[in-house]
Amino acid sequence: MQHTKYLILGAGISGLAFAYEQRSDDYLILEKETVPGGLCRSFYAPGFVWDVAGHFFHFHSDQTKAFVKQMLDGVELCNVTKCAKVFYADRYLNAPFQYNIHQLPHDEFMQCLTDLYFANGLDDAPSFKSFVRQKFGAGISDKFLIPYNEKLYACDLDELERDSMGKFLPKLTFDMLMTFYHGQKGTTYNDFFLYPRQGTMQLVNSYLNHLDTSRIHLGESVSAIDTDAKTVTTSQGTYSYDHLVSTIPLNRFIDFAHCGDSSLLHSNKIVVLNLGFDLPSRDKEVNWVYFPGDEIFYRVGFYNNIAPRPNLSLYVEIGCRSDEQVDIDRLIRQTLVDLKRVRITDDHQLVSHHAIVVEPAYVHITGQSKAETQRVIDAMRQRDVHMVGRYARWEYSAIDDSIEQAQQLAQTLSPTSR
């Protein structure tokens, strides 16, 4: 049986970042796919570069930003000032919706404003749905926040914890509303972002350049974990470890290690359609659009306006329940109809496409999932098992969080880490 000091489950950005940070040569990464990168992979077709939906680099810390820029030294980067819209009642408004309600028809603006004024603003809401009503009022909630997020999460928002979206839900104050009303720009977490011209995979490749790729076993799916014996079994064999670092979804980990109740962890799944067309984009500025209405998609992004390309190149995100049967051909047909309806396409012909199902995509954070997640993470830490990344920690987080979690864990486990 092969023994390793650091056994890492998953070669997404979290697993690669930890392997890079821990610095020793004594590590092994087990990855079920035949390509590393997880959700940060890119896909290439003639004339088009696509990701698993847009994967852009925005940062909460200047230190992490400087680190990523250094990792991407020599890679062509697009520096983008965000332009996002909402398609509401057949018109395009600026996003976030809650900051731009003055762009609604006058009576709807007044309704949102009045409801916001009388929203009770308390902090005792039992669910995400009641939380947004409490904070933003019924107008903003019922016109955008609730229908949009129900399409995305594919569940009743009463099932989710009040703080499900955490830092990703732009907070609203009257000062902020006035700033936007007067045409000035306020701030949200991703007003500016970086994007490698050849796709997010460039960051994955930068990590791979620093790693010994013979220590990354691709196409090797983990199927059992024994935290007493400190072993992991895959489709190819059994490995023993000193420290186990898991980046695979927590519900799967729980089943493999028999260490909790995975039925308490729910999520949606999403279908991402990457679509390439034969004509240029009608819109030359917008980066992505949110759709709270009856269109099949909840968000459409324009690669061609982020890393300029001659022709329209879109990612389309469709939220589904985890138990839903997915018929990709039907989704593409309906998407093409709806893209025309919302005036993103007119005479455009689809010349290239690619579909990915992501599961889990957005985890459903509930009281029970939070308690079980915390219990498992704490219990596993006592056994030298550590969770890194959005799905291993069953949370709503981003690439910069993965990198920071990997850095912190490496510093804790290995005093000689970077």
Ligand X SMILES: Cc1cc2nc3c(=O)[nH]c(=O)nc-3n(C[C@H](O)[C@H](O)[C@H](O)COP(=O)(O)OP(=O)(O)OC[C@H]3O[C@@H](n4cnc5c(N)ncnc54)[C@H](O)[C@@H]3O)c2cc1C
Residues near ligand X (CB under 6 A) are 9-15, 30-33, 38-40, 53-56, 221-222, 247-248, 252, 270, 317, 358, 361, 389-391, 397-400, 402
Nearer to ligand X, 133 or 252 (CB): 252
State the nearest-atom distance from the C-beta of 272 to ligand X, in Å. Answer: 7
Nearer to ligand X, 17 or 116 (CB): 17
State the nearest-atom distance from the C-beta of 109 to ligand X, in Å. Answer: 30
Q: Specify whether the CB–CB gap between 10 and 264 falls below 8 A.
A: no
State the nearest-atom distance from the C-beta of 10 to ligand X, in Å. Answer: 3
The amino acid occupying position 406 is: A
State the nearest-atom distance from the C-beta of 280 to ligand X, in Å. Answer: 24
Nearer to ligand X, 358 or 413 (CB): 358
Other CB atoms within a 10 A radius of the CB of residue 83 amount to 17
Nearer to ligand X, 293 or 389 (CB): 389
Nearer to ligand X, 177 or 271 (CB): 271
Nearer to ligand X, 80 or 312 (CB): 80
Residues 18 and 358: their CA atoms lie apart, in Å, by: 23
Q: Give the position of tokens 């000032």.
A: 81
Other CB atoms within a 10 A radius of the CB of residue 48 amount to 23
Closest residue by Cα to residue 297 from 273, 264, 329: 273
Maximum alpha-carbon separation in the chain? 71
How close are the terminal C-alpha atoms of the chain, in Å? 29
State the nearest-atom distance from the C-beta of 267 to ligand X, in Å. Answer: 10
User: Which ranges constitute the DSSP H helices of 234-298?
Assistant: 250-257
Q: Which helix (H) or strand (E) holds 133?
A: helix 128-140
State the nearest-atom distance from the C-beta of 223 to ligand X, in Å. Answer: 7
Quick one: DSSP state of residue 37? B
Residues 121 and 133: their CA atoms lie apart, in Å, by: 9
